[in-house]
Amino acid sequence: MKIGFIGTGVMGRGIINNLLQANYAVVVFNRTKAHAQSVLDNGATWADSPKEIAEAADLVITMVGYPKDVEEQYYGDNGLFAGSHAGQIFVDMTTSTPTLAEQLAVDGEKFDVKVLDAPVSGGDVGAKNGTLTIMAGGDEAAYDSLQPIFNMISKAANRFGVAGRGQHTKMANQIMIAATMLGMSEMMVYAKAADLDVAKVMATLSAGGAQNWSLDNYGPRVLAGDFEPGFYAKHLLKDLRIALDEAAKMNLSLPATDLAEALYTKLAEQKGLGDEGTQALVKLWAQFA
């Protein structure tokens, strides 16, 4: 089986390398070819457009930046659909809008192509180590046929229903994470202002009802002054805006998510720190500025 892969960012490269190691033939496309060089060196081949990828591959995976980038890969004269053939499967692993995921699935049907949404969590480390969590939506038989490949690149893959449901699940994940990042930031700011030993406070909190993954993993980085991105602040901001758009369509008010969007906007767009990790949120307070 030949796999097409569009998007050779840090996530894409990790996944592609795992596919190459499992002896799949992988043909890749990326807007900036230089960013594909390391996977080409590892044995992937190059195609000059999404259309050529679709013509060459049985399965195509896309993992790009923003929903508009996803649209650019699928539509148009040089897009995936233009090069598609009946029975093919496309999988969008970008964290994108449930609405676009639904639209891609509907448009795919016109070409007898199944388009699944399958965003992931687990970050660059998960991509590299094949320990991602995959949250999928779309045609069940197509999903089932991809299990061997999902098993190669993830520790857990689950299908949540029809197209769009994978993206909705990812949005639920981001809503939960954003609130824990807010809480962690305010907790650390309060503890520091009250002149407590913040590391000791975090160790105590982690042993009880306040425990959470962000505190355990990002808390120590903040104290060490490490704001390198495990996950970019600007990407969480993008995700929160998608979640809030979708929530608005469902007439849902999500005030904590609204607040997280406002604070990450301040961090990324007013302070210009969108390329730091999500833990940089604490920099909005003088205690960690």
| Chain residues that interact with a second copy, rule: CB under 8 A | 98, 121-123, 133, 135, 155-156, 158, 160-161, 165, 168-169, 171-173, 175-180, 182-187, 189-191, 193-197, 200-201, 204-205, 207-215, 217, 231, 243, 246-247, 250, 252-257, 259, 263, 285
Question: Residue 101 in contact with residue 164, Cβ under 8 Å?
Answer: yes
- Cα Rg of the chain, angstroms: 20
Q: Strand 2-6 relative to strand 59-62: parallel, antiparallel, unpaired?
A: parallel
- Give the angle subtended at the CA of 129 by the CAs of 124 and 134, to the nearest 5°: 70
Closest CB to a second copy among residues 38, 213 = 213
Closest CB to a second copy among residues 60, 237 = 237
Gap between the Cα atoms of 275 and 279, Å rounded: 11
Closest CB to a second copy among residues 30, 279 = 279
2 φ, ψ to 5°? -100, 130
Gap between the Cα atoms of 217 and 128, Å rounded: 18
DSSP state of 131: -
Residue with tokens 């995936």: 80
Selected catalytic residue, list 51, 114, 170, 283: 170
In the complex, minimum distance from the CB of residue 193 to a second copy, in angstroms, rounded to a whole number: 5
Closest CB to a second copy among residues 53, 282 = 282
In the complex, minimum distance from the CB of residue 180 to a second copy, in angstroms, rounded to a whole number: 6
Burial (CB < 10 A; 0-12, 13-18, 19+), residue 194, is exposed
**Catalytic-residue membership of 170:** yes
Closest CB to a second copy among residues 44, 188 = 188
Gap between the Cα atoms of 28 and 48, Å rounded: 9
Gap between the Cα atoms of 52 and 49, Å rounded: 5
Cα maximum dimension of the chain: 65
Residue with tokens 């469902």: 250
In the complex, minimum distance from the CB of residue 214 to a second copy, in angstroms, rounded to a whole number: 7
In the complex, minimum distance from the CB of residue 272 to a second copy, in angstroms, rounded to a whole number: 21
Gap between the Cα atoms of 3 and 16, Å rounded: 9
In the complex, minimum distance from the CB of residue 46 to a second copy, in angstroms, rounded to a whole number: 33
In the complex, minimum distance from the CB of residue 112 to a second copy, in angstroms, rounded to a whole number: 27
Residue with tokens 């992988």: 26
Closest CB to a second copy among residues 34, 207 = 207
Which residues are catalytically annotated?
A: 170
